[in-house]
Every structure is written in structure tokens, then in C-alpha cells.
Amino acid sequence: MAIDLEIPKKFQPLVEQAHTVAVEVLRPISRKYDLAEHEYPKELDMLAALIDGMGEGGAGSGAGAAGASQAKSPGDDGGNRNGSNMASILSITEMCWGDVGLLLTLPRQGLGNSAIAAVADDDQKKRFAGKWAAMAITEPEAGSDSAAIRTTAVLDGDEYVLNGEKIYVTSGERAELVVVWASLDREVGRAAIKSFVVERSNPGLKLDRLEHKLGIRASDTAAFILDDCRVPKEDLLGSPEIDTKKGFAGVMRTFDNTRPLVAAMALGVGRACLEYTRDALAEAGIEVDYDRPSNVQSAAAAELIELESDFEAARLLTMEAAWMADNSKPNSLHASYAKAKAGRTSVDIALRCIALCGAAGLGEDELLEKWARDAKILDIFEGTQQIQLLIIARQLLGLTSAELK
């Protein structure tokens, strides 16, 4: 089946709207909330309401993290489908060209919303619709290895009782829901890990602290203590049964949705850096001629061309992962391809663009230095660079996690 990885025509208005928002709303307040860390950007409330209205009217279907989900069946005509996953990565790229930290704190567009879209049943999707959901995976003793989670969930009547600690929860303080990963039986291992939707107001979910960060400062990053946190058993996402053969797969399917979204965030930051640098070089009299080989151009022009080609590779991998999800094709490997490539590329682009721009790239009167700080997290969260390469190696070699660590 042929895959056209240009922007689908039906999504062009969505892309233009998202870019307008980035230009008119996000860029102007980007530095303000980078400096005012932990202060909620009130300007986003109206923007979130607008996105909600677009989604309800069908005009912006998939315009954000909440829209990304695995298609249930391929198109009836057997042709290509460009659905909510493609729409999500296209809109997210544009918004993160504006500001990735502000996108991460946009109400009702948290990574937990994508987790619910990936795993929840129809009743749960209906109950949690319209709510802002964060996602709590990482623990002090379980960073990149999600299977090492120590937070426990014990069934007590009609409720699960959760106990443990979660750190680095993006939008954890501001969200209305937190999707918490916990183990039903730690002795069983990864098959017993399930995800639970916890109301942020739950008295057993206690905020420990808000982190001070290198980048994405507009987004709050919380640490929680779960102390006898009681959750209705109906709020467990997926099956409560422990299946040692595929039990962890349902929870991990969340990453198949969220990793392309993070790759899209990286694309937005990377493109912002490239465009800024291209303009800065032009002002310095260095023009890039795309009709001539890079080796006969200036060193600065040749380096920019190299960075742009790297960016294009990351963009195409990200679009492919989204297209596969929209067409009911297993995309776990390609989601890791996209996340690994885009995460590394955005950091590389940002730092090398600063080198090309010199002093202009380090001043706080411009946003390039901020983008360089923001970019680093995109190579870390939702699975570090190293973990993505490990996942890719296991799948290509046909080895289990026990065989290749």
C-alpha cells in the first residue's frame, strides 16, 4: 500500500489554525511563563475552550493529545485513512513551534488523555470526557524501566487501594485526573501492572512538591504520594485480569499513542530553531542555495542543510507512525523509531543552531536559548533515547526484554 507523507489536504485548515494560535497566542507569552514558573497561564483557558468547540463540531477532530487513539478497523474501502492520530501530530507540531511548555499545560490535552483514549472502554471514555488527565508512571526506583514499578493496587471490596510514590508527573497539579500506573501483584512482574484513573481531588493522592526545571517551565511537573488512595474498581483501565502472556501489552499500548505525540512536539521545537537560524544567517548575508551541493557552499549553509535533512527524516518517521495507528497497523516499533529520531534530532538541532547563531542564540531577548532548554525533555520523557533504541533492537532481533537488557 502506498503511503503519501505530505500533509493531507483535509487537515490543511487545522494546520493553519494551529499555526495562527502559535503565532498570536503562544509565542507572545512564551518568555513570560518561562520566567514565571508554576504560574498558571490563564490565557490558555479561552484557547482550550476553542479547541473543545472545534472538536465537538468535528472541525478540529484530533487536534491535540486527547484525539490520538488506535483505529478499531481499517477503512472500509481498504484505502489509506488519515484520522485523529495524523491530525494530532500535525496540530501539536504547529503548537510546539509556538511553545512546547504551554502546549503541555493546555487544559484537557494531557498525555493522560491519550492514555484514556488508548485503553479505556466506551463507558470510561464517556465518564472521563472533557476532563484534563495527567499521567503518572515514573517513580524514584523506576525511571526508564516501567516494569519495575513499586506502587501497589490492592482490591478491597468495590475499590482498589493504591500506595506508592510518583514523580515527574506533567501537569499533575493542574489536571483533573491522574492516570496512575500500579501493580496488582509485584511478584508476578510486568503482567500485573495496570493503569488507574484517579481524581486529582482524591484525598489519598497527596502533592509532595512541584519541580523546578531546565525547560518547559510553563508546564507544572509534580511529585505525588499515594497513601491508601481508594479508587473505584470501575476506574481501572483495561482488563483487571493478570495475563502473564500479554498483560503488560495493554498498558504499554499507551506509549504507541503518546510517543508519536512527543515526537511531534520535538518537530515543532526543531522547526522553530531551524527557521530562526535560517533567518539569522540570511541577515548575516549567508544564503542557502538548495539547488547546489552543500559541499560547494559556506560551512554554515552546509550545516543548516544537514540539520534540515535530519529534521525531514524525523518528520517522515513521525507521520508514518501516526498513519499506521490511523490504519490499524501495529506501530510500536515505528512509534519508537519516531520518538528516538525526533527526540535526538531536536536537541541536536537546537544546540547546533545556537552555535551557528553565536551570541544571538544565547540572549534572553530571543527564544532560541529557551528552545534549546525545552528540547532536552523531549528526548527523555515517554521513554528515554536509550530505552527507545533498546525497544527497537529487541523488536528487530526478535528478543525478549529478559534476553536483551
Q: Which residues are catalytic?
A: 382
Q: Which three cell numbers stand for residue 198?
A: 484517579
| C-alpha to C-alpha distances, 151 to 115, 196, 203, nearest whole angstrom | 18, 11, 17
Q: Residues of 230-262 as b/e, b for ≥16 C-beta within 10 angstroms?
A: ebeeebbbbeeebeeeebbebbbbbbbbbbbbb
Helices 332-357 and 247-283, axial angle in degrees (round to 10): 20
Listed in order, strand segments (DSSP E) in 233-345 are 236-237
Q: Which three cell numbers stand for residue 363?
A: 540572549
Residues in a beta bridge with 139: 142
| Dist. CA 40–CA 175, nearest whole Å | 12
264 and 93 Cβ atoms separated by less than 8 Å: yes
Looking at residue 51, its amino acid is I
367: number of CA atoms within 13 Å, CB side? 27
